[in-house]
Structure 1
Amino acid sequence: MRYSSTNGPIDLVGIGIGPANLSLAALLKRHPRVRARFFERRAEFQWHAGLMLPNASLQVPFLKDLVSLVDPTSELSFLQFLATHKRLLCFINANFPQVLRREFNQYYRWACEQLDTLDFGREVDAVELDGETLIVRGNGWSQPTRSVVLGTGLQAAVPDCAKPWLSTTLLHASQYLINNNPVEGKRVVVIGGGQTGAEVFHHLLSDSGAMPASVTWASRRWNFAPLDESSFTNELYTPGYSNYFYDLPETLRATLLAEQKLASDGVSSALLEAIYRRVYELRYVTGMSCNLQLRPARELIAVARRGDGWSITFRHLQRQTHETIHADIVVLCTGYAYGMPACLDAIADRIERSGDGYVVNPDYSVRWDGPKGCRIYVQNAAKHQRGIADPNLGLIPWRCAQIINSVAGCQLYDVDEAAPFVHWEAQPMAVQSGTPDLEMMS
């Protein structure tokens, strides 16, 4: 099947349909003058299917949906989804502290049904340059376009020592529910102290009728630390801070990302409390025999086969000693990393890189030596230039609005936000009458 039109290339092709490119498609629904199509290799929309645990919830407010940050009156908002399904009042009465991830996945799938620009089951094999036009190719089809938006998502990050051993019983967390290992009576090790590690650990303890023999939760972090969700920390998830961060020197940006880790990669306080209560219950109330161990400050350094199971070796980062644990199942909650998709191989050497990422312009297009009228935009791939909010759900609609304005060549969406409460920039003088005079000191 060939998508190319006799009227020439379309304006935009989105590669991958996750929350980011779905937001882009949703915001474009009101602006059909921007001709776009989105391609996804999977047969249907799925959002972290391997981690759709029963009680897993969002770590962002539900108003940070596909559209509301830049178009709160959109017919594709989460509130509209609730109203359409006659559950808005019950949702309000339920007073959820956070929306269940399963319900947000329902919302995403419902939004897909409202859009006619999405093509599932269409894998993109290559992006090539033909004169002044980009050609997106799949198996038996092609689509000329002026712009491409990469929404291929992040890839599972696996420690080097574990890569040769990946299997059904030593697996990345993204495969946790897909593999569906029976855990009753088994020795399970969970590696990684972020939200995913906490969710998997809690899930393993949830079914009193099918408890593992032991569960060990290990983390490189000094403790099982909470997500920093305070109001001023959430200023890091504003357009103002994203723009400020973009203009900082590269070395300073890297330092700040390390300092701000718990603003994006901690465990929700409610989940930590639920885990602590469950451990208390199992130890003191139910008398369950499951051996539970929480081991912070441990770094995974070696994996080896041991019979039908695994021998897992950690370095204690504070004592500088080694310890070995034997396990039947190992779940690697070791996060995700960005990798350039293989479909860009034909033009990869023309794209400017910075470390593991791209060099990204203010409009989220990457710098490359292609024709001026051909742009390649990226979703969730500019953390090193845009800060901790970039791979998070929080600013997706704002970023998509920036991309839409750039593709259209005019401001279809107002992306100017009120200044953050925190003055990130250095102030050369008093900013308004009645404020203290400020002097810049050399």
Structure 2
Amino acid sequence: MPETPDPEVTDYVAIGAGPANLSLAAQAEAVPGLRGIHLERQREFAWHPGLLLPGAVIQISPLKDLVTPVDPTSDYSFPSFLVSTGRFYDFLSARFPAVHRAEYNEYLAWAARRLPTVRFGHEVREVHFRGDHFEALTDHGAFRGRHLVLGTGGTPAVPAVFREHLGERVFHAENFLRHEAVLPGRRVAVVGGGQSGAEIVRHLLAAGTAEHIAWVSRRPGFVPLDESAFANHLYHPEAAREFFGRSPAERTVLLRERRYTSDGISESLLAEIYQRIYLATHVEGRTGFIDLLPGYEVVGAAAVDDGYRLTLKSVDSVTSLDADAVVLATGYEQHPAPCTAPLAPRLRMADGAPVVREDFSVEWDGPDEHRIYLQNGARHAFGVADPNLSLVAWRSKVILDSIRDATGTRPKGSVTP
């Protein structure tokens, strides 16, 4: 039976229940009198389930969770999860150098189940502004809020040359585990030189069932993640604020220069891949099982026989590569959620991106007392840390404080970290 939505107007409606909006929901729980609703189209929580490979880890401290950086006493913290699930001391004794993605996904799902304002299976079809509130239309009815928070995340980036070939044997890395069964005995090309591409190559090497692996990347090499102390400082709130104060030209330069503080490969993973290749080559006596192809861009893809012929271009040469299957570890793109199309003409844009204020609200032609906030979509305004998990708690606190300021529920003199 369809749910009957609350006819009253809540303080905000949030679309999407990934880590960003889960952080908002968890923090909002601690604010007396604040009412919000979080609508998620998935029927249950899943954080990139196709990439939950054995051994895959997150690249940040688990203390940069949904709440700890702004409220270390919250019941929704990662340490609270460890205690609640009876594994706190075992976790400490294990001394993992990084938290496994599967366990962090379990933490996020644990938090999602405990948050009463998160509604799964509620796909938002359209969002409208009705003069004094936003209205999100779903198959379960309409949900209304004075403010709107968009946290729908990125969409898989698929290079144009592969779009017509998408299917069972050409797919984005996000769907890797769903398609893994077709890979044994085949020549597999992994396109993309970031962490996800490396994790998939490591996984294929460990399984040992692919006939051949080709790892292709536009980057000049398989570049390590810069995890130095000063690089990590770029993932502090003050660094995001400093970036916000830069000119558009300066921001463009800094995004390029700082790319590998977030988009590189963990050194431990690079070492493991190298060691696996060494052992297979020099100890097991295997040859011709892998080609490493950094510095090449795939500029063409054609179906041939029962596979695909990829055209690769480097700075000074063009070559071809035959594969039976292609895994696109090509990252994600930011696109407006289709449900926000009715609002799109009302947003102020610059260079193809929404103009974002310091409180993560976007400039639009509606009344300022009704705001549209952007979660995980303001890299152009706040720097490399914006799509990263590092600042989800801080960003949600900034948005929550802005909502409370607009609704008059925030105590005077309180400070946003």
Match of 1:223 in 2: 221
Question: Which of 355, 359, 362 is the equivalent residue of 2:358?
Answer: 362
The alpha-carbon deviation at position 159 of structure 1 amounts to 1.0
- Tell me how far apart the structure 2 counterparts of residues 290 and 182 of structure 1 sit (CA, whole Å): 21
Post-superposition CA distance 1:287-331 (Å, at most 9, x none)? 2356111111001100000111000111012x2x11100000101
- Tell me how far apart the structure 1 counterparts of residues 260 and 160 of structure 2 sit (CA, whole Å): 24
Match of 1:255 in 2: 253
The alpha-carbon deviation at position 416 of structure 1 amounts to 4.6
The 8 Å contact of residues 169 and 182 in structure 2, kept in 1 or not, is answered as no
Match of 2:346 in 1: 350
- Tell me how far apart the structure 2 counterparts of residues 179 and 121 of structure 1 sit (CA, whole Å): 24
- Tell me how far apart the structure 1 counterparts of residues 216 and 144 of structure 2 sit (CA, whole Å): 49
Letter in 1 for 2:324: D
Match of 2:319 in 1: 323
Match of 1:336 in 2: 332
Post-superposition CA distance 1:117-162 (Å, at most 9, x none)? 1100010001111122111111240012101111100011111111
Given the superposition, is the C-alpha separation of residues 11 and 143 from structure 1 closer, same or farther in structure 2, using an over 3 Å criterion? Answer: same
Given the superposition, is the C-alpha separation of residues 86 and 290 from structure 1 closer, same or farther in structure 2, using an over 3 Å criterion? Answer: farther
Match of 1:169 in 2: 169
Q: What does residue range 362-441 of structure 1 map to in structure 2 within 5 Å? A: 362-409=358-405, 411=410, 416-417=416-417
Match of 1:84 in 2: 84
The alpha-carbon deviation at position 48 of structure 1 amounts to 0.4
The 8 Å contact of residues 338 and 357 in structure 1, kept in 2 or not, is answered as no
Given the superposition, is the C-alpha separation of residues 32 and 43 from structure 1 closer, same or farther in structure 2, using an over 3 Å criterion? Answer: farther
Given the superposition, is the C-alpha separation of residues 103 and 2 from structure 1 closer, same or farther in structure 2, using an over 3 Å criterion? Answer: closer
The 8 Å contact of residues 300 and 315 in structure 1, kept in 2 or not, is answered as yes
Q: What does residue range 41-440 of structure 1 map to in structure 2 within 5 Å? A: 41-208=41-208, 211-288=209-286, 291-317=289-315, 319=316, 321-409=317-405, 411=410, 416-417=416-417
Show structure 1 runs of 4+ deviating over 4 A: 1-4, 410-417
The alpha-carbon deviation at position 32 of structure 1 amounts to 3.7
Q: Percent identity?
A: 40
Post-superposition CA distance 1:43-101 (Å, at most 9, x none)? 00000011110110010001011100000011111001101111111100100000000
SS of the aligned residue for 2:219 comes to coil
Post-superposition CA distance 1:249-274 (Å, at most 9, x none)? 10110111011110110000010000
Match of 1:31 in 2: 31
- Tell me how far apart the structure 2 counterparts of residues 186 and 73 of structure 1 sit (CA, whole Å): 51
The 8 Å contact of residues 215 and 290 in structure 1, kept in 2 or not, is answered as no
Q: State TM-score, norm by structure 2.
A: 0.96
The 8 Å contact of residues 398 and 416 in structure 2, kept in 1 or not, is answered as no
How many residue pairs align between the two structures? Answer: 412
SS of the aligned residue for 2:108 comes to helix
Q: CA RMSD in A?
A: 1.5
- Tell me how far apart the structure 2 counterparts of residues 411 and 99 of structure 1 sit (CA, whole Å): 35
- Tell me how far apart the structure 1 counterparts of residues 174 and 414 of structure 2 sit (CA, whole Å): 36
Deviates more, 1:283-292 or 1:49-58: 283-292
The alpha-carbon deviation at position 388 of structure 1 amounts to 0.2
SS of the aligned residue for 1:180 comes to helix
The alpha-carbon deviation at position 415 of structure 1 amounts to 5.4
Post-superposition CA distance 1:199-226 (Å, at most 9, x none)? 0110001124xx2111010111111110
Judging by fraction of residues, say which structure has more helix. Answer: 2
Residue segments in structure 1 that go unaligned for 5+ positions in a row: 418-442
